[in-house]
Amino acid sequence: MKFLRNFFDKAYEKAGEKFHPVVESFDTILFSPNHTTKSGSHVRDAVDLKRTMMFVILAMVPCLLFGMWNVGEQHFLALGESVSFFDKFLHGAIRVLPLVVVSYGVGLTVEFIFGIIKGHSLHEGYLVSGMLIPLIMPVETPLWMVAIAVVFGVVIGKEVFGGTGMNILNVALTTRAFLFFAHPNSMIGDKIWISQMRDMEANGTLADGVSGATPLGQLATMDPGTVDTYYANGGVDFSQSLMGNYLGSIGETSVYAILLGLAFLLITRVASWRIVVSFFAGGFVMASIFNIFAGDNVFMQVPALSQLMLGSFMFGMVFMITDPVTAAQTNKGKFYYGFLAGFIGILIRVANPAYPEGIMLGILIANVCASLIDHMVINANIKRREKRLAKATA
């Protein structure tokens, strides 16, 4: 450790003032700094932002690992080959890791540039966003597109507002929304969810009957009928959606993996249970309303609970909506905020077949409304105080 410490002490001298933040960033990752309190509370809680953020990343690891396996699984399923678990995982890892590397590489570079301009070390926010972004991408997203989207997400989504802690929209979702609207043919459709599907089609190696559509894509384009025909034709049922071996963005499919992350985040109290619960309730209520008024619309008929297990709802519930910066800040507001996001998310998903990934938009809309929700909650507190004053002076 002494050797490392000396290394950093020397690095500071070499870096000079301008690159001090860069050295500091790496230094504070390896060493907790020797800063002491000056006044006020002389002792401080052992937790800091780095640890909090790292816990979110740890919570995503099951999703990442499962996502890698699932990419391989779906790839070889489309080829009609049966290979070992290890081969599937290896294929997935080869496809997924470049996305992770590009996301972190580009994002952190942008962060470092802003750090140098503003003279502060790396703030931790992007460590989480950098992992979230690959997990919410279709596996076939070109790397250059990810790079551009990340630059957009970090600069426009966060840095223009003042950096970590100041952004209004979730950075990872801003990135995805950018791609969604700027390059829709890489984000929607049937060709992007299976690794190397376009090659397979060109080579004629694609197995018969592989459509490449996600369950939500299928459901959105179903002819009027009953949901039973969807399940009878091999639609993703409840238990499969829990397991997650179906098509979707890399990290979003397995509910089991997501719940592992959720358990970790709730036990360590990093995520707010208020938001999680109300988001689930919001989605459930909207899906139930659709159930009641479904008629012969298959998508609307999907049982509420099954509806929530599909697509990105659960992933959004655990990793997106709980982002403390873009969420409502007040405990009461969190209930309204979560409910709104879940409600609108399912509404957009089901009611607008062009946007099967409505959850992303639902959360972004809730992000925008978060300050308004807080404003109303805090206003109630202010009103209470004014009433008390009026009573005292009356």
Partner 1 sequence: MAKAIKIKKGLDLKVKGKPEPNIQEVSNSSDYALKPTDFPSLTPKMVVKEGEKVKVGTPIFFDKYREAIQYVSPVSGTVEEIKRGAKRKILSVTIKADSEFSHESVDTSGDTKEVILKSGLWPTIKQRPLDIVADYNKVPKAIYVSGFDSAPLAPDYEFLLNDKKEALQAGFDALSKLTEGKVNVTIESNVKSSSVFASINGIELHTISSKHPAGNVGTQIHHIAPVNKGEFIWTINAIDVARIGTLFTSGKLDFTKIIALTGSEVESPSYYKMISGASLTNLVDKKITSDNVRYISGNMLTGDNVGKDGYLGFYENQVTVIPEGDVYRFAFTEGWMAPGFNKLSNSQTFLSSLVPKKAYDVDTNTNGEERAFVMSGQYEKVFPFDIYPVQLLKAAITNDIDKMEKLGIYEVAPEDFALCEFVCSSKINSQQIIRDGLKVIEEECM
Interface contacts to partner 1, rule CB under 8 A: 1, 4-5, 28-52, 54-55, 121, 123-125, 162-166, 267-270, 272, 324-325, 327-331, 334, 374, 378, 381-382, 384-386, 388-389, 392-393
Q: φ and ψ at 129, to 5 degrees?
A: -55, -40
Nearer Cβ to partner 1 (232/267): 267
| Nearest distance in Å: CB 283, partner 1 | 22
Nearer Cβ to partner 1 (206/377): 377
Interatomic CA distance for residues 54 and 50, integer angstroms:
6
| Nearest distance in Å: CB 166, partner 1 | 6
Interatomic CA distance for residues 112 and 110, integer angstroms:
5
| Nearest distance in Å: CB 12, partner 1 | 12
CA torsion 309-243-312-369 (nearest 10°) is: 60
Sign, CA dihedral 273-276-280-281, equals: positive
Nearer Cβ to partner 1 (16/40): 40
| Nearest distance in Å: CB 335, partner 1 | 12
Token pair recorded at residue 337 = 């905020």
Is the distance from CB of 51 to CB of 184 less than 8 angstroms? no
| Nearest distance in Å: CB 201, partner 1 | 45
Nearer Cβ to partner 1 (231/273): 273
Nearer Cβ to partner 1 (294/378): 378
Nearer Cβ to partner 1 (300/328): 328
Nearer Cβ to partner 1 (47/94): 47
Sign, CA dihedral 117-123-129-131, equals: positive
Q: Which DSSP letter does residue 206 get?
A: P
Buried b (16+ CB within 10 A) or exposed e, 98-109: ebbebbbebbbe
In degrees, to the nearest 5, what angle opens at C-alpha 58 toward C-alphas 318 and 136?
Answer: 50
| Nearest distance in Å: CB 85, partner 1 | 30
Query: HSE (CB half, 13 Å, CA atoms) of 138?
Result: 27
Q: Which helix (H) or strand (E) holds 147?
A: helix 143-157
| Nearest distance in Å: CB 273, partner 1 | 10
Is the distance from CB of 311 to CB of 252 less than 8 angstroms? yes
Nearer Cβ to partner 1 (47/207): 47
Nearer Cβ to partner 1 (232/394): 394
Interatomic CA distance for residues 161 and 326, integer angstroms:
12
| Nearest distance in Å: CB 119, partner 1 | 13
Interatomic CA distance for residues 350 and 292, integer angstroms:
14
